[in-house]
Structure 1
Amino acid sequence: MRETRSPSQVLFSHLPAQTTDIKSRIWKVQSWLNPLTLRVDTDGVRQRLLSAIDPWRSHGNDNGLANQLHQGKTVEVVGVNPEQGVKVDAWPNVWRCQSCRRVTNFKGRCVCGNKTWVQLHFVGFHECGYLGEPFIPKCPEHSQVFVKHSSSSSVRDLEFACPICHRALQRGLGAGRPCPGCKQPGLTFNVHRAASVYTPHTFTMVNPARPEHLQALLADGGREKSLRWVLSEMQTGRPEKLAPTRQSMIDSFVQQGLPLAAAEAAVQSAIDAGAGHLDKPVDVLDISPLRREEAEATALEVALATYEGRRTASQLPGDPVGANLRAIYEDKYVPAVLRAGLIDVDHVDRFPILRGVFGYTRGGKPVGESRLVAYQGRQQSIRVYADTNETEALYLRLDPLRVAAWLHRRGLLKEAPTDPTKARIAIINAAEFPGRGDDVAVPTAGSAVLSLLHTYAHRFIRQLAVLAGVDRESLAEYLVPHHLGVFIYATPRGQFVLGGLQSVFETDLDRLLDLQVDAETRCPLDPGCDRSTGACLACLHVGEPSCSHYNKFLDRKTLFGSNGYLRKELS
């Protein structure tokens, strides 16, 4: 039997050890047949994986995956082979007669004469990764069993008895027994499609659709030049258009294979010959060495994400437009951007994103509290099932002066610089961003910036979904906290029509940003929500994989509290 599914459906609904419904039957995915190896930045994938599994590592539930990644174990990223697809088997092999409700492990003619059978849709599972068929005892005298109340989806309602002597045989399915896989207690039973049976876990990363984009950036000053570009408010289209510096020229020569000493000598010769602009001080040297590597890596991500071009709200209109739109751009867009605490908003129509699934959990516990089961590939490698797409995105850039002032008022930044570049550098130096699994008892500059940016992104997704009339799960975030930025992009697997973000950007951006500031700030579950975390399903949470931080580091008070970033009297 062959069925057709889109790559996105396969990625999220047909993963190894997952069950799925196809044509009124239940099937278990065995494997992806000869999956395709995707061209990715493997170092970037490794770093993104380490970040993604941090909640499990911090709880000791990552099954040693973090250590394997640090030790250099091979990581392979694969996509579905459209020619061969996915192998599935009919499972579980437990059938119920539709006429008399007898339960058996084989199909044929039932003793009642009926030939129509349906699968019992319950399975047993354990957090170690075990998945098994339920064991249902038969009458010791008549070797038969039937189920009462077969329409219930609750395991507790299941009663099994002998259809001949009506002897009661079992209630439920024996939850709490030792797991046949690891011999530990805690075997659980549920409907096969319940989230507690199989929860896949994902990560996203910027992945250039064409590797030559990354090579071009690295060959022309690379990370250091990308960092200077972001610090200068991305004033040129790409980092490569910035004037070269001494360090960027040295990096360029090293990338071309020249030894470091020879590269330094060549650049010095150029300076001595009159290329004095190469010897200007590089402002990124003001960044602490402890912070600079991450700042450069994330700046390179921004450069890759916008490599194919972007349009900036403050520079509209770029093309001839009608008088009404021109008036909106000139009179409303820039004031709305500034009022919303942003330095600018960019529209990226070819945002290159990789979405990967690195493992799953069973048990339905919060992220990090169940054992993570990672996928294995060829020769025991760490496997990531993924797809790559180019979608559209809005890049929101928080105002560095306003963020610095906000941190200073909270006592988390010694001083608030009045120069945007110096403000960005001060924030980078002060902010050590917590891992995804960290619990921060006392706010730091890093946790405050992350909470601010993350909360801002979730509120923006909710307002955008309302304005555009789409499901919020069709939108997702990609945070760049080192540079006070976040990409809000249309997920290829969602219902958001490509071009929808462009339409909002070109006609309704001012309305959207006004909603971000003026829309209801209270939660339906206040005062309870406000007194606890300040974020819940009713006000700020979004689903995975739309959220990149598992709905942690969220708090409405960062935006609208007594010292909130968007408080009107503080603007």
Structure 2
Amino acid sequence: MAESELKKLVTRWTAGDSPLVRSSIDLPPTVNAQLASRSEYTSRFDPFVLAVEHEALSRGKLFAPRDGSRAKFVRFNHLDKDLAPKDATTKATQEAETQVLMNKLGMADLGLIREFDLCRFTHGYTRVSAIPTLNKRNQNVPVRLRLFDPLRNGKRPIYVVTQANEALYVRLNPVVVYQWLQAVGVLDLPVWDERATVKLGGKVLETAHPFGRYFALLKEGDASTYRYVYTLLHTYAHVIMKNVAELSGLDLGSMGEYIFPLDLAFVVYRNGTTMDLGNLSSLWRNQNNRFLSRLLNASTHRCNSGRLCDTAGGACPDCIMIPETSCIAQNQLLSRAVLKGGPPPREDATHKGQRITGFLDVVNSVNGVT
């Protein structure tokens, strides 16, 4: 009887001409379809999980209230006392130049996360391969995961490492990203207006395609919005990691990346388990806008392998590939062409033999830079 009365009460609140509780907007059928296919994603590539994690990052770090101590996140175009020059005029000049460079790089947000929280764990190992099957003598042989030896109480151990190291956060300008997708000519580009209430990430979610576990579904196919967005963010992260390694003294193997495709953002963090010596904050204090200017140099986006690398998708160990222990996506979905233009990525079968427009080319055309 109580349950029945509660249902009547809720009905009165949500029904009628002027309900007390407004009904929520139903999800588009395309998003519901994406929810149904979540089992085809691994957790590090699940767009729904990544959207929630980015929201948690925003609340906990990016827009966290100050508690009297140093800010958890410092935007490079609005520096705090710890990162800024002592002289107020120099600080204002540096911040203005940083904003100009951010515009040229298509960045809407850029800054330092002082403590990027990470938790890594493992419950077993295999000396053969990380994928479920291994081709041996032309046969697919299952790979056996060996759990760690049990403890005296019979329980299996799980080894956990937690970290809170410095990280660089980058979020791209959604308007420029959409213009770049139009210039590339992806086949499933959704209709989007920057003045609409739905953000570009919501439209990108409707076009998402799973890569499959261990990239089993990542085959050559039509030019896809979601894949191109992921490739752009992933490539951008690698270019920044290489730039950090050259200017800060950090080894590429000591860094990691995290990509949030629906929020058009990524994080490059220090992945070492030793004491964090503040390499990234020191990098900005010492190099600041020189670090950003290098990202615009043509030499940064060039490969010594030349034509050989371009015809193979625009990614090789000589240019933007990094050690696989640092790469979140096994050096897949990478191409220098998405930043500076050139032959399309290897996953794009639509533009074979053509040249795609680079993201930075679109940014400069929008800003009136030749």
Give unmatched runs, 5+ long, in structure 2.
39-45, 65-71, 136-141, 342-355
1:500 to 255, 272, 279: 279
The answer to whether the 8 A contact 1:523-1:538 is kept is yes
Q: Superposition RMSD on alpha carbons, in Å?
A: 3.9
In the alignment, is the contact (CA less than 8 A) between 2:124 and 2:147 conserved in 1?
no
> SS state of the match for residue 566, structure 1?
helix
Q: Does 1:431 align with 2:219?
A: no
Counterpart code for 1:355:
R
- Residue 324 (structure 1) shift: 4.8
Shift of 1:459: 0.8
Distance 1:341 1:559 in 2: 11
- After superposition, the C-alpha distances for 1:77-133 in whole angstroms (9 at most, x for unaligned) are xxxxxxxxxxxxxxxxxxxxxxxxxxxxxxxxxxxxxxxxxxxxxxxxxxxxxxxxx
Query: Which residue of the other structure, out of 342, 355, 360, is the alignment partner of 1:566?
Result: 360
State the AA in 2 paired with 1:431: A
Higher Rg: 1
Tell me the distance in 1 between the aligned counterparts of 2:242 and 2:53.
Answer: 25
Q: Share of identical aligned residues, percent?
A: 24
1:553 counterpart letter in structure 2:
L
Cα distance in 2, alignment partners of residues 545 and 344 from structure 1: 27
Mapped to 2, the partners of 1:556 and 1:279 lie a distance apart of 48
| 2:63 is the counterpart of 1:289 | no
CA distance in 2, matches of 1:564, 1:528: 19
Per the TM alignment, residue 471 of structure 1 is displaced from its structure 2 partner at its CA by 1.3
Q: What one-letter code is carried by the residue in structure 2 that aligns with 1:462?
A: K
Aligned-partner SS, 2:118: strand
Whether the 8 Å CA contact 2:250–2:279 is kept in 1: the answer is no
Give the corresponding residue for 2:233: 453
Residue pair 2:121, 2:159 contacting (<8 A) in 1 also? yes
After superposition, residues 460-479 of structure 1 pair within 5 angstroms as 460-479=240-259
Gaps of 5+ in 1: 1-258
**Equivalent in 316, 340, 355 of residue 78 of structure 2:** 316
Could you tell me which amino acid in structure 2 is paired with residue 356 of structure 1?
F
User: Which residue of structure 2 aligns with residue 397 of structure 1?
Assistant: 171
What is the number of residues matched between the two proteins?
A: 309
Give the whole-Å Cα distance in 2 for the aligned partners of 1:401 and 1:558: 16
Shift of 1:268: 7.2
Aligned to 2:318: 538
Alpha carbons 1:375, 1:382 under 8 Å: kept: no
Partner of 1:517: 296
Classify 1:501/1:262 alpha carbon distance in 2 versus 1 (closer, same or farther; 3 Å): farther
Counterpart position of 2:224: 444
Q: 1:320-354 deviations in whole A, cap 9, x for unaligned?
A: 85225422443112222221122101322121112
Post-superposition shift, 1:522? Answer: 1.5
Contact kept, 8 Å, 2:118 with 2:162, in 1: the verdict is yes
Q: Which residue of 1 aligns with 2:194?
A: 418
Query: 1:364-417 CA deviation, whole Å, 9 max, x = no partner?
Result: 899975654423255999975331111121121122112222222233214352
Report deviation, 1:358: 5.6
Greater strand share, 1 or 2?
1
Q: Tell me the TM-score normalized by structure 1.
A: 0.47
Q: Give the TM-score normalised by the residue count of structure 2.
A: 0.69
In structure 2, the residue matched to 1:375 is 146
Q: CA deviation at 1:506?
A: 5.3
Cα distance change, pair 517–440 in 1 and its aligned pair in 2 (3 A): farther
Partner Cα separation in structure 2 for residue 399 and residue 264 of structure 1: 47
The one-letter code sitting in structure 1 at the alignment partner of 2:50 is T
Distance 1:418-1:360 versus aligned 2 partners, 3 A rule: same
**C-alpha distance in structure 1 between counterparts of 2:132 and 2:99, whole Å:** 40
- Residue 388 of structure 1 corresponds to 162
Does structure 1 conserve the Cα–Cα contact (< 8 Å) formed by 2:169 and 2:265? yes
Q: CA deviation at 1:458?
A: 0.7
